[in-house]
């Protein structure tokens, strides 16, 4: 079986959940080779092995963070050497940019926003949702190495322990790589809440909230349940909540155990980012809101009355 390159992300010894999802998908296609930036500690290597990485390749350099283009080149050099069945990366803005640059360098085809990947007789078969998940499309790259950017929550990470071998390479900083340089980074303040894409419970607010201050109602419920906060595009565009929290076609895809949509109408573009949630609860004063077509439980009512009651009831039952 030939290799499948998986670009993994890790911070402070923790491998991201989406990287574990990519490893799980990669095992369907071949032997996963996890590609890590920087020196990964033992814990990272162990985790990658637990999820089936037969090999962990470390691209080691102190300058990686500063020169992101050089990272793509290093991955392309590795891919040219390994000739993998496919390269898998996350379908985030960064991941899609890496995928596009890799495809150019390798002369392969790129498929983004994949929600499933299966082995086919002629190479990986990729499922994508098109037109806000109104259509399901299956595609295959017909020329060169397939570069596939996969949306988070496409699959539940499954363990398949192996002991990985470790290989290393460095970074070549040529003229082209030096043209783009990251000058500074700002660490986002932690809210103490789980990551939106990784949370088991997501509470999202929409235009029905009527303002930024009212998002406190969403945060209160999220905190009572230990969940993450999401928002509709209308709320984000109004400046009520940060774009990083937007759920939907042009935001993040979530697939939690429980999704609570508050004051959200359920437009198709919003549904595209949350309709695979296991249980969906909607709070909306309009009984004909499209979100109720999809909800497992619906509360028809004014959110300003419903939300405080809900939080109080949770607190009462927890006491
Ligand atoms: C190319 C494109 C991409 C897009 N991408 C996204 C995306 O990623 N994510 C996304 O969300 N949208 C996206 N949209 C926008 C989408 O079409 C909708 O406009 C948006 O989702 C509407 O947000 P909303 O449900 O919060 O607002 P509205 O549609 O205005 O709905 C507000 C809801 O709140 C209810 N409400 C009002 N007051 C109360 C109250 N007091 N109590 C209870 N309920 C109340 C109303 O009955 C209504 O149903 C995209 C659109 C386009 C064209």
Domains 3-177 and 201-318 share a fold: yes
> Which residues, at least 6 apart from 191, have a Cβ–Cβ distance to it below 8 Å?
229
**Ligand 1 centre distance from Cα of residue 197 (Å):** 20
Task: Say if residue 295's pLDDT is above 90.
Answer: yes
Locate tokens 């949702």: which residue? Answer: 129
Mean pLDDT on 139-161: 93
**Ligand 1 centre distance from Cα of residue 142 (Å):** 39
Q: For domain 201-318, is the CATH number 3.90.1860.10? A: no
**Which residue ranges make up each domain of the chain?**
3-177, 201-318
Q: Residue 276's pLDDT band (boundaries 50, 70, 90)? A: confident
- Please report the pLDDT score of residue 1 as a whole number: 59
- Nearest CA residue ID for atom 31, ligand 1: 265
Q: pLDDT tens, 158-175?
A: 999 999 999 999 888 888
% of the chain surpassing 90 pLDDT: 71
Mean pLDDT on 46-66: 92
Quote the CATH superfamily of domain 3-177.
HUPs (3.40.50.620)
Q: Residue 229's pLDDT band (boundaries 50, 70, 90)? A: very high
Binding residues for FAD: 207, 232-233, 246-250, 263-270, 284
Task: Say if residue 176's pLDDT is above 90.
Answer: no
Task: Say if residue 204's pLDDT is above 90.
Answer: yes
Mean pLDDT on 5-33: 92
- Please report the pLDDT score of residue 132 as a whole number: 66
The 3-state secondary structure of the chain reads: CCEEEEEECEECCEECHHHHHHHHHHCCCCEEEEEEECCCCHHHHHHHHHCCCCEEEEECCCCCCCCHHHHHHHHHHHHHHHCCCEEEEECCHHHHHHHHHHHHHHCCCEEEEEEEEECCCCCCEEEEEECCCCEEEEECCCCCCCEEEECCCCCCCCCCCCCCEEEEECCCCCHHHHCCCCCCCCCCCCCCCCCHHHCCEEEEECHHHCCCCCHHHHHHHHHHHCCEEEECHHHHHCCCCCHHHEECCCCECCCCCEEEEECCCCCHHHHCCCCCCCEEEEEECCCCCCHHHHCCEEEECCHHHHHHHHHHHHHHHHC
Q: What residues are in contact with ligand 1 under a 6 Å CB criterion?
A: 206-208, 232-235, 246-251, 263-265, 267, 269-270, 273, 283-286, 289, 302-304
Mean pLDDT on 204-213: 98
- Please report the pLDDT score of residue 92 as a whole number: 85
Which of 207, 230, 254, 303 for a ligand 1 pocket mutation test, highest count of atoms within 8 Å of Cβ?
Answer: 207
- Please report the pLDDT score of residue 307 as a whole number: 97
Q: Residue 190's pLDDT band (boundaries 50, 70, 90)? A: confident
Q: pLDDT tens, 106-119?
A: 999 999 989 899 99
């Amino acid at each position: 079986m030939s290799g499948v390159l998986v670009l993994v992300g890790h911070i402070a010894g923790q491998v991201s959940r989406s990287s574990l999802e990519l490893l799980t998908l990669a095992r369907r296609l071949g032997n996963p080779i996890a590609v890590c930036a920087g020196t990964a500690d033992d814990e990272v290597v162990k985790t990658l092995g637990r999820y089936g990485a037969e090999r962990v390749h470390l691209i080691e350099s102190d300058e990686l963070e500063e020169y992101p283009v050089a990272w793509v080149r290093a991955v392309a050099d590795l891919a040219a050497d390994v000739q993998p069945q496919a390269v898998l990366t996350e379908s985030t803005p960064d991941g899609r940019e890496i995928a596009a640059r890799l495809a150019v360098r390798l002369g392969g085809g790129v498929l983004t926003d994949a929600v499933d990947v299966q082995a086919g007789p002629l190479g990986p078969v990729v499922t994508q949702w098109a037109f806000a998940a109104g259509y399901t499309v299956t595609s295959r790259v017909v020329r060169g190495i397939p570069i596939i950017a996969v949306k988070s929550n496409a699959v539940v990470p499954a363990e398949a322990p192996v002991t990985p071998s470790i290989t290393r390479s460095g970074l070549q900083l040529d003229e082209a790589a030096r043209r783009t340089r990251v000058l500074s980074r700002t660490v986002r303040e932690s809210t103490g809440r789980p990551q939106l894409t990784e949370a088991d419970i997501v509470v999202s607010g929409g235009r029905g909230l009527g303002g930024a201050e009212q998002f406190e109602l969403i945060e209160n419920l999220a905190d009572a349940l230990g969940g993450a906060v999401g928002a509709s595009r209308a709320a984000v565009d109004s400046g009520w909540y940060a774009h990083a929290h937007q759920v939907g076609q042009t935001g993040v895809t979530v697939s939690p155990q429980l999704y609570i949509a508050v004051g959200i109408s359920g437009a198709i573009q919003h549904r595209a980012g949350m309709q695979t949630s296991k249980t969906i609860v909607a709070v909306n004063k309009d009984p004909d809101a499209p979100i109720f077509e999809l909800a497992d439980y619906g509360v028809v009512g004014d959110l300003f009355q419903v939300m405080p009651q809900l939080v109080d009831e949770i607190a009462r039952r927890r006491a």
